[in-house]
Structure formats: C-alpha cells, structure tokens
Amino acid sequence: MKSEHAPEIEARAHWRRLAFISDLHLGPDAPLTTARFLQWLQADALQADALFILGDLFEAWIGDDLLDADPADVHHEVCTALASFASTDRFLGVMHGNRDFLLGSGFVQRTHVQLLADPSVLRFAGERILLTHGDALCTADIDYQHWRARCRDPVWQRQVLAQPLAARRQQAAALRAQSRAAQSRMETSSDADPAEASRWLSQAASPWMIHGHTHRPCDHWEGGRLRQVLSDWDLDAPVHSVAHRAQVLWLDQGPGALAVHRQQLV
C-alpha cells in the first residue's frame, strides 16, 4: 500500500524505555478499563520516555467538539490525563484507529499529543520499527476496506463533522449496532494478511512491525522478520474470561541489546 512513504519518527537521544499500547476502546461503556488506564498513565507509564498509542484509544470519537459539549463526559477525563502525561516532557504519540479516526486538531490542542501517520517508521536504537494500527492489513475483508477508504476521505469527514453533535451521536450508535450484527463495517473480523505485512516491511526497509487492531496478541516470526500484535484492553469483560486483559509492550535499550517484553496489567 503506501508504506513506502511512511514518515519517520526519530527517537530522541535520551530515550531508553518505550511503551506501546492499542485498542483500549475507552468510553462510557468501559468504566473499569478507563479507570485502569488513567491509573496506569499516572503511575507505571511514567517509566516510559515515549508512549505510543497505536489506535482505538477510544471506542468512538464523533468529533473534537464533543469536548466542548459535556464537561462530565469521560472523554474529558482521559484527555486531561493525556495532557498531564505530555506535560512531563515525555513523548506521547497517538495513531488513529478504526474507531477514533476523527481525532483531530481540537484533540491535539487539548492534549498536546502528537498524531502519528499510519503507518510510521520509528527509528530507535539502530532499528527501523514499522508502526500501524493494523486495520489496513486486513485485506481479505473487502467490505471493510471500502468503508475504510470512505471514512478516511477528508471530504466525507468534513460532511460528517458539519452535522450537529446529536446527529453524529446517533449515527455512531447505529454504526456500532450494525457492527455487532455484521462484524464487518466498523470492526473487521478478519486477521492481518501476513503477505501484506511482509510487503509493507519490504517497502519500509524494516524487519519489525508493531500493530494492534485484530485483538490477537502474538509475536509472529515470518521470513526472519518480527510482527508483534498488541493486545486489546478489556477489564469490563468477566474477570475469568479470556477477554479480560490489558497488556503493555515495552522496549528497553540496555547497555548492549534491546529488550522486548509484554507486561500483563492483570
């Protein structure tokens, strides 16, 4: 696809610890997950010199003006916490997911995060690491890719954002209901295509990819290259279910080698 022109993020010289998360799907329907994220962001996340949130931080984002609408809205609380993290002089990068693709300049002004292009190449410790949300890799789901092309179109987005907030709220709720019914539109049920991932890595001259979206956390070694799929977070799922999880991927630059580990927060 378009990874040959992926913008590069150059790690700052002092960076030693990086954290990667995705697919938290925060919002009013996920109070426990949201509370855990806020707690993590104010404590353990401060061990990171840079935090990368690779899409679907929010379950839905109907426009930055939602932050002007209701101060009691949980999205406010999350944005205040992000701003607080960013104010510590740490790098905070946020990539759009398929749920929160409307995060825009109002969100950036409020939080001081850096919006990351999808895909981007992170240059850290001599490595080139390709970062993407992951939905564009799910090429087998043709319907979803059509929807993706449509909703990422700036003209379509302007038309949507021109509608009143209440109308957008209704539309988002309808889309989510439809998604639950069809498991297609907003959420793809198909997996990332390894051949597509391999093409992206070749184009980006990178041996290493980190992505989310599929909710299938795993390290894939494919043709001598590593593709790390992040976990989703869902602490609102029943405690003993498989879905009940929250994970952080850490990269540590030690004296010699680069260490990678997955931390289970529950």
Residues that bind Mn ion (CB under 5 A): 56, 97-98, 213
Identify which of residues 11 and 21 has a Cβ nearer to Mn ion in the complex: 21
Shortest CB 61 distance to Mn ion, Å: 12
Identify which of residues 11 and 138 has a Cβ nearer to Mn ion in the complex: 138
Q: Nearest residue to Mn ion, using CB? A: 213
Shortest CB 97 distance to Mn ion, Å: 4
Cβ atoms 96, 117 nearer than 8 A:
no
Shortest CB 72 distance to Mn ion, Å: 27
Tokens representing residue 21 in the block: 């998360």
Helix (H) / strand (E) element for 74: namely: helix 74-86
Identify which of residues 124 and 147 has a Cβ nearer to Mn ion in the complex: 147
Identify which of residues 148 and 213 has a Cβ nearer to Mn ion in the complex: 213
Shortest CB 60 distance to Mn ion, Å: 12
Identify which of residues 11 and 246 has a Cβ nearer to Mn ion in the complex: 246
Shortest CB 234 distance to Mn ion, Å: 13
Shortest CB 55 distance to Mn ion, Å: 6
Q: How far apart are CA 166 and CA 66, in angstroms?
A: 10
Tokens representing residue 53 in the block: 């949130």
Residues ≥6 apart with Cβ < 8 Å to 48: 17, 18, 19, 90, 250
Q: How far apart are CA 229 and CA 133, in angstroms?
A: 10
What is the DSSP pairing of strand 127-132 with strand 120-124? antiparallel
Identify which of residues 34 and 98 has a Cβ nearer to Mn ion in the complex: 98
- Of 227, 130, 140, the C-alpha closest to 188 is 140
Measured N-to-C along each axis, helices 142-151 and 154-161 cross at an angle, to the nearest 10 degrees, of: 70
Identify which of residues 247 and 253 has a Cβ nearer to Mn ion in the complex: 247
Q: How far apart are CA 145 and CA 137, in angstroms?
A: 9
Cβ atoms 49, 17 nearer than 8 A:
yes
Shortest CB 196 distance to Mn ion, Å: 16
Cβ atoms 138, 146 nearer than 8 A:
no
* Cβ neighbour number for residue 11 with a 10 Å cutoff: 20
